[in-house]
Structure 1
Amino acid sequence: MSGRRHRPLILGFLCYLLAAPFAWAASVEYVGTYVWSLPGEDFGGFSGIEVSDDGNGFHIISDRAWIRWGTFERDSAGRIRGLQMAGRANLQDSQGQALQPGWLGDSEGLAMDASGGIWISFEGLNRIAHYDNVDRPAIRIDSPDDWKDMPVNEGFEGLAITPDGALLTLPEYVADGSETRPVWRYRNGEWDQPFSVSAEPQWQAVGADIGPDGRFYLLERNFRGLLGFSSRIRRFSLDENGLGNDEILLETNSLQYDNLEGIAVWQDGLGIRMTMISDSNFLPFQRTELVEYRVIE
């Protein structure tokens, strides 16, 4: 059959594509993985990471109330080839007592504000603490009454700060029977719960960050027993009405990486880069990995 009769339809369709607004889905490009190891019983269990705007500096917390900071060694392609430590500190409570592993010292989420202040979320006793200086006592932040009813070890691991300085956090697990996860906001000294994010019970929220594009990046984990861990990164638009335009950027296979728990999102000059770190749980058969991907728009 001659295709001539279809030419007007084809031309019309092409004109429609050119004229209509069309959003291409983003993809990701693997950058590299670095396995980090240092001697010492307190090395491991890393659950939160922040990376400087130029991609060279880092702050990392473990779930045993220790924070470390330093610089990355990168090759000419920007891949991590080493880490140089500049310091570390045992986090303190608001009374100046060093926090110990366990109920009070289960530090999980990390975020840094524009003035260099550090915010850390804790499980066990669910709370958020602020530090102007990690060698000084924590500045106590009152918690909402609703947090008292949260199950043990299901609290706040994802922590992010918006461009206007508001703090966002969300619980690791989804409540039974729910299809959403509440997002809590701390702004002007007050907590509210203005919106929620869609959720699936097999995926736990373990890390969060606001990217240089102003969007909310959520790292989720699925533990599959002997099959190991798989990870997922979702990205959302963010405004006063909440989180929208849910987009899955990455979903890894089981055993592809270790237990990725922390995420930092920054601009590397070629696009948005996502740096993740794994929690080894201080077990000899797990490892501390730093995994990086670049977002291709």
Structure 2
Amino acid sequence: MQHRIKRRLTAALLPLWVVMSCAAPAAQTEPVLQAEPSITWHHPAPWFGGFSGVEIAADGSRLITVSDRGRLVHARLVRADGHLVGLRVVKQVPLKGPGGKPLRKNDNDPEALARDKTGALYISFEHNHRVARLDPDSGITTPLPKHPDFARLGVNAGIEALAAHPDGRLFALPEQSVPSGQDFPLYTFDGAKWTTGAKIPRRGPFLPVGADFAPDGTLYLLERTVTPLGFRSRIRSFDLTAPDLGETILLTTGPGQYDNLEALGTWQDAKGQTRLILLSDDNFFLMQRNEVVELTLAKPGPQD
């Protein structure tokens, strides 16, 4: 029992960021993620919770998120002295099929959101694995063509991460590779068809759950694993133009440091710094919470 308590305390006292590099030894020149204190998002409606995808407004003032219960939620981010202190729901709409009818249960398990340079919004679904264009006001979804691999994805291991590149291409990443245990295929949609190009290296037990591109084309990937002591999260960044993908580990959390983080969105503040906002999926379970975490990407100062 004492050993177990010690491990829990160790996890709780871990620093809020960990810097590592896969391409080279950890160095002072690597960027770091600095974390604000996390907050819990509350709202009384029964549909509220289970958030698994998010898109952030360019100025960081608003977000759109999607719930496992088929709701698209628009919210305003409340700040005090530049720090995130709360979120307020502006409106919500149920997700619908192309004809405007409510989605059937097996078709209504959304996992990720992405917004391209034109402002168009896209959404991915599990079970009936697909990616669709999404009208943010009506909630109507219009499916895109499918890649043949989508039919081979596991029932609960579909397209968990969706991100739109600044050049207009849409990228999708499954939670599990096909076949299982391999690197993760990065599917690319050019507006007409899906292709498979780069593969995201599989590192340890972590699985993809969210992604977004920054304006400079850097891909930020949120990953998760489950341990007996709680959830662990990892964030990696990639440069898809680099031969080795420029892979860098920016954050690795200890067990239980955060809740079940599943959604990642980026924005740039007035100083030009990239910020990441993460949302947790509480699975509509009383022992979990809808946690919101904001991280800032910054260069470390001179070393002593």
Distance 1:103 1:200, change over 3 A: farther
List per-residue Cα deviations over 1:192-228 (Å, max 9, x = no partner). 011111013611100000013320000000111x311
- Aligned-residue CA RMSD (Å): 1.8
List per-residue Cα deviations over 1:233-274 (Å, max 9, x = no partner). 0001123x7771110000111101100000011112342111
**SS in structure 2 of the partner of residue 255 of structure 1:** coil
Distance 1:242 1:61, change over 3 A: farther
Aligned residue identity for 1:252: T
**SS in structure 2 of the partner of residue 73 of structure 1:** strand
8 Å CA contact 1:196, 1:242 repeated in 2: no
**SS in structure 1 of the partner of residue 149 of structure 2:** helix
Distance 1:227 1:245, change over 3 A: same
Aligned residue for 2:224?
221
Aligned residue for 1:7?
none
* Cα distance in 1 between the residues matched to 2:56 and 2:46: 25
8 Å CA contact 1:235, 1:249 repeated in 2: yes
State TM-score, norm by structure 1: 0.87
Q: Give the paired residue count.
A: 272
Aligned residue identity for 2:122: W
Structure 2: gaps (5+ residues): 1-26, 300-304
How far 1:73 sits from its partner (Å)? Answer: 0.8
Aligned residue for 1:244?
245
Aligned residue identity for 1:43: F
Aligned residue identity for 1:25: E
List per-residue Cα deviations over 1:141-167 (Å, max 9, x = no partner). 111122111111111010000011100
Aligned residue for 2:142?
139
8 Å CA contact 1:195, 1:242 repeated in 2: no
Structure 1: gaps (5+ residues): 1-21
List per-residue Cα deviations over 1:88-118 (Å, max 9, x = no partner). 1101112321125x42100000011223221
Match for residue 185 of structure 1 among 169, 183, 188: 188
**SS in structure 2 of the partner of residue 55 of structure 1:** coil
How far 1:49 sits from its partner (Å)? Answer: 1.0
Q: Comparing 166-175 with 255-264, which one deviates more in the overlay?
A: 166-175
**SS in structure 2 of the partner of residue 99 of structure 1:** coil
**SS in structure 1 of the partner of residue 245 of structure 2:** strand
Aligned residue for 2:93?
89
**SS in structure 2 of the partner of residue 146 of structure 1:** helix
Higher normalized strand content (fraction of residues):
1
How far 1:121 sits from its partner (Å)? Answer: 0.4
Q: Which protein, 1 or 2, shows the higher relative CO under an 8 Å CA cutoff with sep ≥ 6?
A: 2
* Cα distance in 1 between the residues matched to 2:176 and 2:243: 20
List per-residue Cα deviations over 1:1-54 (Å, max 9, x = no partner). xxxxxxxxxxxxxxxxxxxxx981111111231101111211100001111111
Aligned residue for 2:50?
45
* Cα distance in 2 between the residues matched to 1:243 and 1:134: 40
User: Which aligned pairs between 1:50-65 and structure 2 lie closer than 5 A?
Assistant: 50-65=55-70
Structure possessing the higher radius of gyration over alpha carbons: 1
Give % identity.
35
User: Which aligned pairs between 1:10-29 and structure 2 lie closer than 5 A?
Assistant: 24-29=29-34
List per-residue Cα deviations over 1:71-96 (Å, max 9, x = no partner). 111010x2221222221110111232
State TM-score, norm by structure 2: 0.85
How far 1:175 sits from its partner (Å)? Answer: 4.3
Which aligned runs of 4 or more in structure 1 are off by greater than 3 angstroms? 174-179
8 Å CA contact 1:230, 1:251 repeated in 2: yes
* Cα distance in 2 between the residues matched to 1:243 and 1:109: 26
* Cα distance in 1 between the residues matched to 2:230 and 2:140: 37
User: Which aligned pairs between 1:113-262 and structure 2 lie closer than 5 A?
Assistant: 113-135=116-138, 137-175=140-178, 178-200=181-203, 202-224=205-227, 226-239=228-241, 244-262=245-263
Aligned residue identity for 1:67: L
**SS in structure 1 of the partner of residue 151 of structure 2:** helix
Aligned residue identity for 2:221: L
